């Protein structure tokens, strides 16, 4: 797939409430799935299969160990600056933490061919301390999109995961309930909207802390070292609910994984729901995991009607509404051509970042259950999967077929025309 850098309907805005004094806002109304940014890495460190060297350094910013490619990122950037001195302007425009003066503006720095002969010849002093700070606050772990639907490759060890610094994506502020998400294709980072976004509204991404509440997320390395006082809408609500309720939520969620019967999971789901009173469905990430656990138990018993009903219920927690919950009987011609799902999330959400795989995989699970008994409904749900995948990733049928090779020659997919 050919890629080129792209900046959509966004702009950098001064935001005095932000640590770096800036953020990204929408220049106009933006629709769900709209492409926001395609950014080639300023610096990218990935595995050399012939010589997988491993490095470990002490990061003076976080007072912790950096290993693998995150440990060498600052050195790689310094080398690029030596080979292209103008590149230092790009680094100096990025936030480098509270110990450094926030940059006042951001201008795209024209790329120039790196003079390889000058990689170790510095015309001016290079502030490696600032570079390290920029990397600490802005670099991303950058694994590329994975093939789905087949036996997955083993997860890469942390020290061998690619690490990249991307200029414009570094300007997006964090929220645990973001209204956009990001993913990588090689050394390109791509951002898309997870919901409709109003003009002048700030656009957020998630920096990746896991957990079902502020009190668990704050213990993650990202939050503990870099964002100890997250004030996104979701964290504010968690603190208002209180630590005791959130700890109960975590405990119930952990207990569900050890349940062996559907009735036990259902009982725990009712208790879990009580800890989310007042939360939007798409902010209840723990409910997604709970319904996935319940669906697995039904499917293992070959109880497909209940498995389907459980998937339908679970999809609402990633911001989708199931438009056709029928399990049998003839479909009217108009219903055959209609999408089985639609997006109902109207704001940033906790599960917006997992919509792109939980939502798509959920549609494919429904398609797989129907495949042997109802070809019409199977084709309808495959259409829903391709539509949602295209909204989340772009690439149309071609990228879908590449990522889901076991479905690449499905008759319904070959005939499908995206709307």
- Average pLDDT for 81-94: 78
158 pLDDT higher than 70: no
pLDDT digits (tens, 9 = 90+) for 99-142: 887 776 666 554 555 555 555 566 667 788 888 888 888 887 77
What percent of the chain lies above the pLDDT cut of 70? Answer: 84
pLDDT digits (tens, 9 = 90+) for 207-240: 877 888 999 888 887 777 777 788 888 999 999 9
Calculate the CA dihedral of residues 292, 298, 303, 309 and round it to 10 degrees: -40
- Average pLDDT for 165-193: 92
Q: What does the mean pLDDT of the chain come to? A: 85
Tokens of 182: 């990001």
Q: Is the pLDDT higher at 79 or at 177?
A: 177
pLDDT digits (tens, 9 = 90+) for 194-213: 999 999 999 999 987 788 89
pLDDT digits (tens, 9 = 90+) for 243-285: 999 999 999 999 998 999 999 999 999 999 999 999 999 999 9
Contact 256, 167 (CB under 8 A): no
What percent of the chain lies above the pLDDT cut of 90? Answer: 47
Instruction: Give the pairing of strands 202-205 and 173-174.
Output: parallel
Determine the Cα–Cα distance for residues 181 and 145; give it in Å rounded to an integer. Answer: 13
Phi, psi dihedral angles at 127 (to 5 degrees)? -80, 85
354 pLDDT higher than 90: no
Determine the Cα–Cα distance for residues 122 and 131; give it in Å rounded to an integer. Answer: 15
Helix 233-241 / helix 243-256 crossing angle, nearest 10 deg: 100
- Average pLDDT for 13-17: 80
Contact 370, 305 (CB under 8 A): no
Least confident of 83-97, 108-122, 325-339: 108-122
49 pLDDT higher than 50: no
Per-residue pLDDT at 307? 96
């Amino acid at each position: 797939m050919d890629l080129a850098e792209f900046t959509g309907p966004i702009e950098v805005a001064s935001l005095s409430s932000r640590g770096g004094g800036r953020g990204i806002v929408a220049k106009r109304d933006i629709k769900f799935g709209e492409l926001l940014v395609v950014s080639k890495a300023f610096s990218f460190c990935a595995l050399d299969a012939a010589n997988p060297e491993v490095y470990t350094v002490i990061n003076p910013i976080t007072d912790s160990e950096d290993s693998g490619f995150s440990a060498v990122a600052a050195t790689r950037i310094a080398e690029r600056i030596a080979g292209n001195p103008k590149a230092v302007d790009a680094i100096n425009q990025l936030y480098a933490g509270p110990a450094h003066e926030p940059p006042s503006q951001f201008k795209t720095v024209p790329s120039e061919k790196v003079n390889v002969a000058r990689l170790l010849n510095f015309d001016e002093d290079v502030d490696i301390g600032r570079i390290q700070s920029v990397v600490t606050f802005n670099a991303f772990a950058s694994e590329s999109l994975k093939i789905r639907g087949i036996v997955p490759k083993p997860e890469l060890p942390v020290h061998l995961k690619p690490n990249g610094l991307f200029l414009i994506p570094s300007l997006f502020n964090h929220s645990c309930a973001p209204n956009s998400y990001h993913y990588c294709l090689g050394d390109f980072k791509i951002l898309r909207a997870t919901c409709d976004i109003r003009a002048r509204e700030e656009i957020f991404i998630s920096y990746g802390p896991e957990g079902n509440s502020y009190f668990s997320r704050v213990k993650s390395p990202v939050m503990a070292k870099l964002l100890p006082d997250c004030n996104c809408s979701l964290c504010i609500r968690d603190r208002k609910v209180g630590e005791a309720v959130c700890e109960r939520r975590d405990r119930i969620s952990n207990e569900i994984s050890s349940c062996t019967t559907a009735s036990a999971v259902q009982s725990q789901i009712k208790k879990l729901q009580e800890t989310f009173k007042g939360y939007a469905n798409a902010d209840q990430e723990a409910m997604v995991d709970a319904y996935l656990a319940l669906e697995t138990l039904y499917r293992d018993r070959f109880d497909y009607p209940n498995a389907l009903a459980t998937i339908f219920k679970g999809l609402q927690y990633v911001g989708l509404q199931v438009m056709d919950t029928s399990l049998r009987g003839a479909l009217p011609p108009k219903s055959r051509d209609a999408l089985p799902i639609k997006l109902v999330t109207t704001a940033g959400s906790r599960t917006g970042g997992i919509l792109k795989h939980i939502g798509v995989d959920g549609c494919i699970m429904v398609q797989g259950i129907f495949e042997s008994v109802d070809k019409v409904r199977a084709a309808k749900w495959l259409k829903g999967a391709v539509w949602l995948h295209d909204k989340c990733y772009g690439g149309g049928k071609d990228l879908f077929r590449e990522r889901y090779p076991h479905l690449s020659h499905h008759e319904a997919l070959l005939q499908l025309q995206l709307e």
